[in-house]
């Protein structure tokens, strides 16, 4: 039953295709836009077209970029010797917000996920190996997500990198989030926090006081 004017139904339908927007939200947004100033809607429409026209992926690190190279690759003030390997361009933004990393990045464009048919060939792994052959990198920090896919990907890349004997490979620490509560931490996270504990005073600590978990990394 078509009770809305056709263009409105088309818009509700198009909005409903976006991730995280159900039919009710789509309707709500469409009616909001109907009442909003014409220029505001035009600006949104233009922004949409613009990202397809003006944004692409950096040819070197696969971050989002306005030209062939992204802002970070173009920044000559960054350390060429250390590389953070991430799954998605948005992970770069998260790492940049810490303000603690001044090296370069490499975006894999996903993580290994056999169930969805994503293997290393679907990711930018080959391109990473090519970069390492060309560039003078001596440390790689694996910053994939701490979930099954991310850990698998990190393990795969760590194994691949074992042939590059001049490169130190590290992995983001797993542990308790800052401001968190021990009581609310899940067993896996707490287990990782134990494993990765940092020694404040050290008198040749006996190894394996904590049973290592069967982590893949």
- Write the interaction track for a second copy spanning residues 92-131; mark x where CB under 8 A is met and - where it is not: xx--xx-x--------------------------------
- Write the interaction track for a second copy spanning residues 132-161; mark x where CB under 8 A is met and - where it is not: ------------------------------
User: Interface residues for a second copy in 4-33 (CB under 8 A)?
Assistant: 4-8, 10-11, 13-15, 17-21, 25, 27-33
Q: Which is nearer to a second copy, 42 or 210 (CB)?
A: 42
Q: How far apart are CA 138 and CA 154, in angstroms?
A: 17
- Write the interaction track for a second copy spanning residues 168-187; mark x where CB under 8 A is met and - where it is not: --------------------
* Binds a second copy by CB under 8 A, chosen from 42, 148, 210, 216: 42
What is the secondary structure of the chain as a DSSP string?
---S-HHHHHHHHHHHTSTT--HHHHHHHHHHHHHS-HHHHHHHHHHHHHHHHH-EE-TTT--EESSSS-HHHH-TTS-TTEEEEESSHHHHHHHHHHT---SEEEE-SS--BGGGTB-GGGTTHHHHHHHHHHS---EEEE---SSHHHHHHHHHHHHHHTT-TT-EEEEPPP-PPTT--GGGS-HHHHHHHHHTPPPSS-S-PPTTSSPPP----
Q: Which is nearer to a second copy, 70 or 157 (CB)?
A: 70
* Binds a second copy by CB under 8 A, chosen from 61, 82, 86, 88: 88
Q: Which is nearer to a second copy, 15 or 169 (CB)?
A: 15
205 near a second copy, rule: CB under 8 A: no
User: Interface residues for a second copy in 65-84 (CB under 8 A)?
Assistant: 65-66, 70-72
Closest CA to 134 of 77, 60, 57: 60
Strand partners, 84: 105, 141
Task: Catalog residues that contact a second copy under the rule CB under 8 A.
Answer: 1-8, 10-11, 13-15, 17-21, 25, 27-34, 38, 40-55, 64-66, 70-72, 88-90, 92-93, 96-97, 99
């Amino acid at each position: 039953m078509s009770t809305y004017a056709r263009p409105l139904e088309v818009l509700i339908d198009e909005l409903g295709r976006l991730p995280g927007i159900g039919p009710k939200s789509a309707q709500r947004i469409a009616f909001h836009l109907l009442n909003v100033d014409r220029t505001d809607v035009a600006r949104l429409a233009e922004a949409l077209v613009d990202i397809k026209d003006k944004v692409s992926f950096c040819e070197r690190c696969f971050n989002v970029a306005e030209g062939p190279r992204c802002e970070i690759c173009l920044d000559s003030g960054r350390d060429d010797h250390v590389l953070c390997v991430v799954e998605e361009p948005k992970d770069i933004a998260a790492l940049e917000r810490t303000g603690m990393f001044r090296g370069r990045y490499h975006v894999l464009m996903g993580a290994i996920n056999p169930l969805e048919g994503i293997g290393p060939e679907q990711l930018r792994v080959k391109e990473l190996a090519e970069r390492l052959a060309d560039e003078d990198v001596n440390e790689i920090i694996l910053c994939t997500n701490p979930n099954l896919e991310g850990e698998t990907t990190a393990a795969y890349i760590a194994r691949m990198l074992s042939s590059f004997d001049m490169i130190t490979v590290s992995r983001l620490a797993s542990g308790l989030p800052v401001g968190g509560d021990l009581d609310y931490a899940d067993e896996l996270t707490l287990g990782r926090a134990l494993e990765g504990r940092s020694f404040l005073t050290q008198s040749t600590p006996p190894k394996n006081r904590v049973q290592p978990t069967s982590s893949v990394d």
